Amino acid sequence: MADSPTPASRKTRTREHVIADLSVNYVARQVLMAGYTLSRILRDYGLDVSMTTFDSAGEVENETVWLQLKATDHLSLSADGTVARIRIESADLRYWLLEIMPVILVLYDAAGDRAFWLDVQQYAEHEDLDADESGETVTIRIPVTSLLTPDAVRAIRA
C-alpha cells in the first residue's frame, strides 16, 4: 500500500473557508424562515448570493436582492460597541453602487453566530459615498442593532 501523502502536500480547508460557509448557512436559514429562497452565485465577482422573494399569495416577485457576505472570527466594534466595522475593497463598493437592484452587505460574526446587515446604496447616500471613492479600501460601519433575522429579511424585501 502506498504511503499516504503528508498533510502539507494536500489542499487545506482554512478557518476562512469554514466561516464563509457558516455565513452562507446562517443567511440561508434567515431567508428561508422568512419564506424566501437564496441562490449561491457560482462565480463571485463581488456578490455572493441572490434572494428571490414571494408575495403574500406565494407568487414569485420579479426583483432580485443581491447579498455580499463577509465573515469574521474577530468582530471589530466601535469604542462604544454600537457599530461593527468592516473594510471592503473600493472596487466592490463601486460595483455595488452601480447595481440597479438593492445590494445588502452582511457581516457574519462567527464567534457570536449572528449577522448584521446594511443596504449599501442607502448607506452610501447617507454617508455621502460615491462610486468614485479613492483608495483601495473603505470602512463600512454597520449598527449592531441591524441583526439579520427573518423579520429583517422581510423588511429588506419591502
Per-residue pLDDT tens digits for 111-146:
999 999 999 999 888 776 655 556 788 899 999 999
Domain for residue 146, yes or no? yes
Domain for residue 109, yes or no? yes
What is the span of the domain harbouring residue 96?
A: 12-157
Question: Number of folded domains in the chain?
Answer: 1
User: Of all residues in the chain, what percent carry a pLDDT higher than 90?
Assistant: 65
pLDDT at 2 over 80: no
Domain for residue 5, yes or no? no
| Domain CATH for 30 | 3.40.1350.10
The whole-number pLDDT of residue 8 equals: 67
Domain for residue 74, yes or no? yes
Q: pLDDT band at residue 109, thresholds of 50, 70 and 90? A: very high
Contact 84, 96 (CB under 8 A): no
pTM (two decimals) = 0.87
Domain for residue 126, yes or no? yes
The whole-number pLDDT of residue 128 equals: 65
Domain for residue 4, yes or no? no
Domain for residue 2, yes or no? no
Domain for residue 3, yes or no? no
pLDDT at 6 over 80: no
